[in-house]
A and B are shown apart, each in its own frame.
Chain A
Amino acid sequence: MTEQLWQVHFKVHRQRTGGKPYVRTFTLDVDPEEYILDAVERIWALHDRTLTYRHACHHSTCGACGMRVNGREKLTCITTISSVTQNGGTVRIDPLRNFPVVSDLVVDMGNFFLRMDRSGFNSVAPLAAACLPYEQPLTAENSIDHEPERLVDCIECGLCISVCPAANTDKEYVGPAVLASLHLMYVQNPTQEFIDQADHHTGLWRCHSAYECTEVCPSGVDPAWRIMDMRKKVMSDRIKSIFRPRSSEKKNAQPA
């Protein structure tokens, strides 16, 4: 961290529940290596106690502090001020898109979390499954009394949904995180249930491959790759199904 402080103007989206949005500017002297969330917390603590925002872990494991910083989706707890502005510069802070704004920078994650739940998303996985299938699994000598495990990468921050152009035009689209979750679950447990949930016009086939989700994901989930890989798995399943005896019941898959 440097000794030199910068003066930075933070233009913050303000909005009471049901009220009209407006922008309020706060000018702060900051250490350029501080994180955006530190500045937001300081605005609340020292300048304006009415400011609302979500946060919890401050080190990118909880996913609560996603916002748009200068128009770009960021996990604000690990985004340094120097990475988005300069001395004397301006930083615009807005709530995530494609979620209902409750107030100021707080969006309603409820519908998204329930979709994640319906996808079967499990926060802990065996170490090998927690990594991306194309990665070398992280080294682990297996002298633990059970298979090593870890918390999976997706922190349900919603950045991928905020940035997704398809989610912006179709509220029914389940979005990248949910599809990435279905892929993660299918890789661990290849059952028809996950194929059926993903193989839907508001699921896998709504994505139009903008790859923005992978671009903004702060956690290494690579949702775009997972969506494309899931499409391959679904197509492979469809081809295989030609050779399977037909079920008398018509499939009636529901989106997650």
Chain B
Amino acid sequence: MEEGGDPHAELDRIMKTTQPSAIVIGAGFTGCALAYDLAQRGFAVTVVERGELASGTSGRTHGLLHSGARYCVTDAEAAIECIQENMILRRIAKQCIEYNGGYFVALDDADLGYAPAFFQGAQNCGIPVEEIDVQRALAAEPALNPKILAAYQVPDAAFDPLRLAMAFAASARQHGAKFNTFHDVVGFLRDGIGNICGVSAVNRHAGQPVDFRADITINATGAWAGKVAEMAGISVPVRPTPGVMVAYEKRVTQRVINRLCEPDDGDILLPQRRMAVIGTTSFEVEEADYIPVYPDQVKQMHQRAALLVPELENIKMRGAYMSARPLIGGLMSGRSLSRTFKCYDHQTDEEVNGLVTVTGGKATTCRVMAEKTADLVCQKLGWQRACETAQHPLADYHLYYS
């Protein structure tokens, strides 16, 4: 620095040119997408995940790339976000998506009564929707219940959950991000003035403690965000809200089949590889680490599946599993980014600096969740780089291991 130079300007210059560092806790969809986004913007990123990639909610998702039509009547904001991200993901993550579209089918008069609001809602949200003649729909999907009264086509798709997470993680690694799977975060590190400056973890492979330090830490643990924030003495009002999914031994349709009604139990049947998967239910739990599969819910799914595709009545079940959505409750004055997900800067709410939490949302919107969270992180650190994750195809998922 030249004598007489402005020390503030010099500090500013250093801040803007020294590579910032970030720790991302959690390697589900959000954590992997966030690691990619931050790494692509020039951060030195360290991901700390207690299990394998996508071993919590993300891996166990239904696998539906939403068109948004499911929410176009009840939650237009979420619907718009879904269709926008659907169009982006089909471009950047084609490697793990079966892109065959979806039908919404009416089974009774109540469903038919919902149709006008649905059609209008979808159009308002910018979701390409087309009414399909019933005979044409049955010709296209012969396994459908022959008693359907109406059918609408929307751009739904099915994806492979683990490979979607791996593709984001592979892209993050290509930008230098480091992944520490099987590392359990057990506490936060604080600097001399109480700011969070990293995490203490246990390497579960070796049973050894290890610390990670960074300029900022992001809690991207979804349904576990409340428990992780608790370690910093912060309350995040996230409620783990599981639902059951049942997989069948036969792929009965090529398209995603949705019941034309307000979001309900067992209203979505999707094809995946040689399977059909029906979901789901919704109830709250305190503890998301182990959620039993309740036989009565499996039975309910079986009945609902057979309403959409009657032959499923007699097809063998291949698997049944639970996945805990991160549902945001309470009236916390968090920085609301949308009704679908929330990003909390704990400096503004609890005066704990160095920690951000992102939770809520859906698999379909993971990329934009990461974008908005990275925007906040960049703003906090005075780092000016724009998001580019919507512009480039993700790296091949195998390269996570490169």
Contact = CB atoms under 8 A, between A and B. Distances in A.
Nearest to B99: A149
Given A141-B142, A144-B101, A54 B55 contact: yes
Given A42-B290, A59-B245, A62-B162, A124 B182 contact: no
A56 interface: yes
Interface in B229-272: 245, 247, 251, 254-255, 271-272
Given A64-B59, A149-B98, A45 B290 contact: yes
A70 interface: no
B204 A78 contact: no
Chain A's interface size range is 35 or more
Interface string B188-219: 00000000000000001111000000000000
Contacts, number: 163
A56 B389 CA distance: 24
B119 interface: no
B173 to A, nearest CB: 12
B398 A116 contact: yes
B95 A109 contact: no
Interface string A132-147: 0000001111011110
B142 to A, nearest CB: 6
B162 A60 contact: no
Contacts of A152: 273
A35 B318 CA distance: 10
A55 B165 CA distance: 13
Nearest to B397: A123
B401 A114 contact: yes
A46 B289 CA distance: 9
Contacts of B293: 34, 38
Interface of A is mostly: loop
Interface in B51-109: 51-55, 58-60, 63, 94-101
A64 B271 contact: no
B136 interface: yes
Contact of B275 (A38, A60, A109): A60
Given A106-B205, A139-B142, A58 B99 contact: no
Contacts of B58: 56
Interface in A25-83: 31, 34-35, 38, 41-42, 45-46, 50, 52, 54-64, 77-78
26 contacts: A18-B206, A31-B295, A52-B182, A52-B205, A56-B55, A58-B319, A59-B319, A60-B319, A61-B247, A77-B321, A78-B318, A78-B319, A102-B205, A121-B398, A123-B95, A123-B96, A124-B94, A124-B98, A138-B251, A141-B140, A141-B142, A149-B98, A150-B251, A150-B254, A153-B273, A219-B273
Interface of A: 1, 16-18, 31, 34-35, 38, 41-42, 45-46, 50, 52, 54-64, 77-78, 102-103, 106, 109-111, 113-114, 116-117, 121-124, 127, 138-141, 143-146, 148-153, 155, 219-220
